[in-house]
Amino acid sequence: MALRDPLPTNIKQPVRQAVSHLWVERLARLGYAAKGLVYIIVGLLAAQAAFGSGGKTTDTSGALETIVTQPFGKFLLGIVTLGLIGYALWRFVQTILDPEHSGQQMNTKRIAKRLGYAFSAIAYFSLAVTSIKIIIGSSSGDSDSVEDWTIYFLHQPFGRWLVMLVGLIVIGVGISYLYQAYQGKFRRHFKLAQMSRTEQIWAVRVGRFGITARGIVFGIIGIFIMLAAIQLDGTQARGLGGALASLAQQPFGPWILGVVALGLIAYGMYSVIEARYRHITNL
């Protein structure tokens, strides 16, 4: 059933005008690049762990911790933080505006997509806050926020059912990523006219591999959240780092972890491609 867009024009129009400014586009592109760098680091560390050359399984916060330990680390992390803030702001813009040019009509699919943008905005703003804390030395990237939040919600009224619902949603997101990778329709977001035929082919290949890996990881995270709800044990929940670590413990674990790690590197590269070629100002 189609519904009218609940956001009034007097709210959406100023946002559209803001998006038309060049600095907003640049900030959004920096955001895609920063997101890509974070996933490349997560993938590289996991690949090193899988292939026995050092490294460790970690999450996006752990990747930020890795950046700050490099030469000029705080400066580099400051740039990444600015990019994460830019990406969060861009997701907020996508939440308010019509990302599919669907006019005034809203259906379940488009509502779900906008809710996804909103959750993404919150997640990356939270990651930016973590990054700032790491820069000033008041936080470490080692804590598992998924486990912390799961424990918190399990102690609330109807907490088990809420956590179970979240787990189902996360699994659903993972499945949607797998479907997105299979269809390959993400290429429509690129400025194809500015890309050579070879660049288009490799962008799709890298995107499919990377999005598939991300879908697998989301599915694993969702399963662990469901397990935490069933057992009423929040310590069973796992975030990105925990999900990768669980892969290493399976039969043929290093091989499985290695493939997924390479997929996360590919997803980071795909985000960098988005930073260069994605349509930004024409939403």
Is 2 part of a structural domain of the chain?
no
Is 173 part of a structural domain of the chain?
yes
Output the pLDDT for position 110: 75
**How many CA atoms within 13 Å lie on the side-chain side of 55?**
26
pLDDT tens for the chain, residues 1 to 283: 445 555 555 555 565 555 556 677 888 899 999 999 999 999 999 999 888 777 778 888 888 888 888 888 889 999 999 999 999 988 888 888 764 555 555 567 777 788 888 888 998 999 999 899 888 887 655 556 788 888 888 888 888 999 999 999 999 999 999 999 999 888 888 988 899 999 999 999 999 999 999 999 999 999 999 999 999 888 888 888 889 989 888 888 889 999 999 999 999 999 999 999 998 865 4
Measuring CA to CA, which residue among 123, 60, 111 is closest to residue 87?
123
Output the pLDDT for position 68: 86
Is 195 part of a structural domain of the chain?
yes
Is 282 part of a structural domain of the chain?
no
CA distances from residue 233 to 166, 238, 241 in whole angstroms, order as listed: 15, 12, 18
* Rounded CA separation 160/148 (Å): 14
Q: How many domains does the chain have?
A: 1
| Threshold 0.75, pTM exceeds | yes
CA distances from residue 173 to 31, 115, 164, 169, 180 in whole angstroms, order as listed: 21, 12, 14, 6, 10
Is 4 part of a structural domain of the chain?
no
Domain that holds residue 61: 9-277
Output the pLDDT for position 9: 55
Those residues with Cβ within 8 angstroms of residue 113's Cβ, 6 or more apart along the chain or in another chain: 99, 100
* Rounded CA separation 247/57 (Å): 10
Is 184 part of a structural domain of the chain?
yes
Is 283 part of a structural domain of the chain?
no
Is 166 part of a structural domain of the chain?
yes
Are the C-beta atoms of residues 102 and 3 closer than 8 Å to each other?
no
CA distances from residue 261 to 18, 33, 98, 225, 237 in whole angstroms, order as listed: 37, 18, 34, 21, 20
Output the pLDDT for position 1: 47
